């Protein structure tokens, strides 16, 4: 016998290319999707507007925005205006890494999943084009899933919560091709670390570079709106 939560999923929707693709994948697998986005003090709000567009286009059952003030601790170019967003590739973990962000986001998603009696959380982390972020690796996903098994009512009572990261081993081009097959409108998304108020991308940051290379390699027209 399956429980009512077996086909409910919480999907982390940032407004970017990867999360839009993951949401489409969850829908394709038959999940009733509950979108979750975070207003955490990031540099611009255009990605939140993009998240709203993506969730609406996918027909999510609900879409919630959680407010967090990660600027209170800073430590990232995305949460501290004094730290510049790099416009060329860097070695090691980049300054755009937000300390413990995915751990915090997944913890809140886990709580929301328990409230919904959902047994799956989907997120768009990627280890191939992951830009050096430690919380986008398979080891992190496995560790968090183990945590969920021992730290929740669902885990203790045997239902459990799966943490699904279907893009983890895919290149950006593969992600784009998969999304196109699922009908994802990438024109709705914003990936740039320093997009303007209209959601136009800078075309220079690491996120823009990976996105541009992905569309080019995939042989898909890039719908991104650029500044200037």
- Determine, yes or no, domain membership for 1: no
Residue ranges with strand state E in the chain: 8-12, 32-39, 62-67, 120-122, 162-164
Residue 5: is its pLDDT beyond 80? no
Rounded distance, CA 160 to CA 147, Å?
Answer: 10
Range of the domain at 29: 8-218
Which residue did the predictor score with more confidence, 6 or 133?
A: 133
Confidence of residue 153 (pLDDT cuts 50, 70, 90): confident
Give residue-wise pLDDT tens across range 91-106. 788 888 889 999 999 9
Confidence of residue 90 (pLDDT cuts 50, 70, 90): confident
| pLDDT of the residue at 24 | 98
- Determine, yes or no, domain membership for 112: yes
> In the structure encoding, which two tokens stand for residue 149, read together?
């098994």
Confidence of residue 158 (pLDDT cuts 50, 70, 90): confident
Residue 168: is its pLDDT beyond 80? yes
- Determine, yes or no, domain membership for 2: no
Residue 173: is its pLDDT beyond 50? yes
What is the average pLDDT across 39-52?
A: 92
| pLDDT of the residue at 119 | 93
What is the average pLDDT across 187-193?
A: 95
What is the average pLDDT across 162-184?
A: 96
What CATH number is attached to the domain comprising 14? 3.40.50.620
Give residue-wise pLDDT tens across range 109-120. 999 999 999 999
Cross-strand pairs, 64: 36
- Predicted structure pTM score: 0.93
Give residue-wise pLDDT tens across range 15-32. 999 999 999 999 999 999
> In the structure encoding, which two tokens stand for residue 93, read together?
């973990």
| pLDDT of the residue at 222 | 96
Contact criterion met (CB below 8 Å) for 201 and 225: yes
Confidence of residue 1 (pLDDT cuts 50, 70, 90): very low
The total number of structural domains in the chain stands at: 1
- Determine, yes or no, domain membership for 226: no
- Determine, yes or no, domain membership for 149: yes
- Determine, yes or no, domain membership for 227: no
| pLDDT of the residue at 157 | 83
- Determine, yes or no, domain membership for 108: yes
Give residue-wise pLDDT tens across range 195-214. 999 999 999 998 999 999 99
Nearest to 137 by CA among 128, 148, 149, 150: 128
């Amino acid at each position: 016998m399956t429980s009512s939560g077996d086909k409910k999923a919480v999907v982390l929707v940032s407004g970017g290319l990867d999360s839009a693709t993951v949401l489409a994948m969850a829908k394709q697998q038959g999940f009733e999707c509950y979108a979750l986005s975070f207003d955490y003090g990031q540099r611009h709000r255009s990605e939140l507007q993009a998240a709203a567009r993506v969730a609406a286009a996918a027909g999510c059952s609900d879409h919630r925005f959680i407010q967090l003030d990660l600027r209170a601790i800073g430590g990232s170019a995305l949460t501290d205006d004094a730290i510049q967003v790099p416009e060329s590739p860097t070695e090691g973990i980049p300054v755009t890494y937000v300390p413990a962000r995915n751990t915090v986001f997944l913890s809140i998603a886990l709580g929301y999943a328990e409230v919904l009696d959902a047994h799956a959380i989907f997120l768009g982390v990627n280890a191939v084009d992951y830009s050096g972020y430690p919380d986008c690796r398979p080891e992190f996903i496995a560790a968090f899933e183990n945590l969920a098994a021992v730290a929740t009512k669902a885990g203790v009572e045997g239902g459990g919560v799966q943490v699904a990261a279907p893009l983890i081993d895919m290149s950006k081009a593969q992600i784009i091709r998969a999304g196109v097959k699922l009908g994802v409108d990438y024109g709705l998304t914003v990936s740039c670390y320093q997009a303007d108020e209209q959601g136009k991308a800078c075309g220079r940051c690491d996120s823009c570079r990976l996105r541009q290379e992905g569309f080019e390699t995939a042989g898909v027209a890039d719908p991104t709106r650029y500044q200037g």
